[in-house]
Amino acid sequence: MFKRIFFHGLMASLLTTLAATIYTRIYFFATETDFSKVLGLQRIIGFSLLTCMLTVLVNYGMIRWLKRKGEIIFNFLFSVISFACVMIPISVTLPLSVQFPELFPGLAVPMVFFPAIAWYTLNPLFPRKQQN
């Protein structure tokens, strides 16, 4: 069971990285504001991997501990935590060298939801047997 959840997280991490990279490029062309020094590709990959691997551990723990209700409680908590994490890009202080810092939340806030969206999108591809 852990192997299946681990690959689910790995694929969600790849999908998150791909979506965030594409969104970064679209945002750059739409606003002509470069935030690559603050949120570069390495940080996007790191954020995606860290978030999705933590998700794997929490999901596995919830399913093992709470059995049938673990998946439901996990999904609820993952959604609530994703919404709560919106405060992170809003409250971050950017270096003075960054032009148009007021546009940064427009880039980073949607990216907060990418791991949850990727996880839920890939969920049907990784079915799990319900434990009693």
Residue 132 lies in a domain: no
* Res 104 pLDDT > 70: yes
Please state the domain count of the chain. Answer: 1
Residue 130 lies in a domain: no
DSSP 99: S
pLDDT of residue 130: 55
| Whole-prediction pTM | 0.86
Domain span at 112: 2-90+101-124
What is the average pLDDT value for the chain, to the nearest integer?
Answer: 91
Residue 96 lies in a domain: no
For the chain, give the percent of residues with pLDDT over 70.
Answer: 97
d(CA 47, CA 117): 14
d(CA 101, CA 131): 49
Nearest to 114 by CA among 14, 28, 35: 14
Residue 111 lies in a domain: yes
Q: Encode pLDDT of 25-80 as tens digits.
A: 999 999 988 898 888 899 999 999 999 999 999 999 999 999 889 889 999 999 99
